[in-house]
Amino acid sequence: MTRTTAPAPARWIPLTGTVLSLAGLAISVYLTVSHYTDPRTLACPDTGAINCVKVTTSPESVILGIPVAAYGLIFFAAMILANLPAVWRRQETWVTAARLVATGIGVVTVLYLVYVELFQVSAICLWCTGVHVIAFALFVIALIGSSRSLID
């Protein structure tokens, strides 16, 4: 049985994925540090519908005793590794599938967190929204970059 390899994705795909992952990691670090120090240091309004402090200090901001932002650290660290150009060049089916599954889990998590913000906490965190947009963009990048390798 011969193994065929699909062509590597366009150069912008791993670069964009890596940059987005680094941005997500930076925001997650900021949110995690703020969680353990002073959540009021967030550069975000703390009144009305946009209220980062209300979101990041709500009971829902902690799952199994761990801040949601710390889970973001783990996710984006993994995404940095998954989006390195050398990893994209491998084009192995399991790597492609793992990247898609991980980013898919990220999107499902984002949908849950947005639901929590809107309907349980009744406030939106701008920093969290940034992370949500980045997670969704990583999923789109994974889909675009993986489409040829999974079809072939």
3-state secondary structure of 89: helix
Mean pLDDT, rounded, of the chain = 89
Average confidence (pLDDT) over 97-114:
96
* pLDDT for the residue numbered 45: 78
pLDDT, tens digit (0-9, with 9 covering 90-100), for 4-21: 555 678 889 999 999 999
State percent of the chain over pLDDT 90: 68
Residue with tokens 């898919």: 104
Domains of the chain: 12-151 (1.20.1440.130)
* pLDDT for the residue numbered 7: 65
3-state secondary structure of 2: coil
* pLDDT for the residue numbered 125: 93
Number of H helices, E strands in the chain: 6, 2
Residue 123 CB contacts under 8 Å (≥ 6 apart), including other chains: 48, 49, 50, 51, 54, 55, 117
Residues linked to residue 127 through DSSP beta bridges, in sequence order: none
Top pLDDT among 42 and 72 is at 72
Q: DSSP alpha helices (H): ranges in 4-115? A: 12-36, 52-56, 68-82, 85-90, 93-115
Question: What token pair was written down for 20?
Answer: 């987005």
Average confidence (pLDDT) over 132-151:
86
Residue 18 CB contacts under 8 Å (≥ 6 apart), including other chains: 80, 83, 84, 85
- Does 71 score more than 70 pLDDT? yes
* pLDDT for the residue numbered 38: 82
* pLDDT for the residue numbered 152: 46
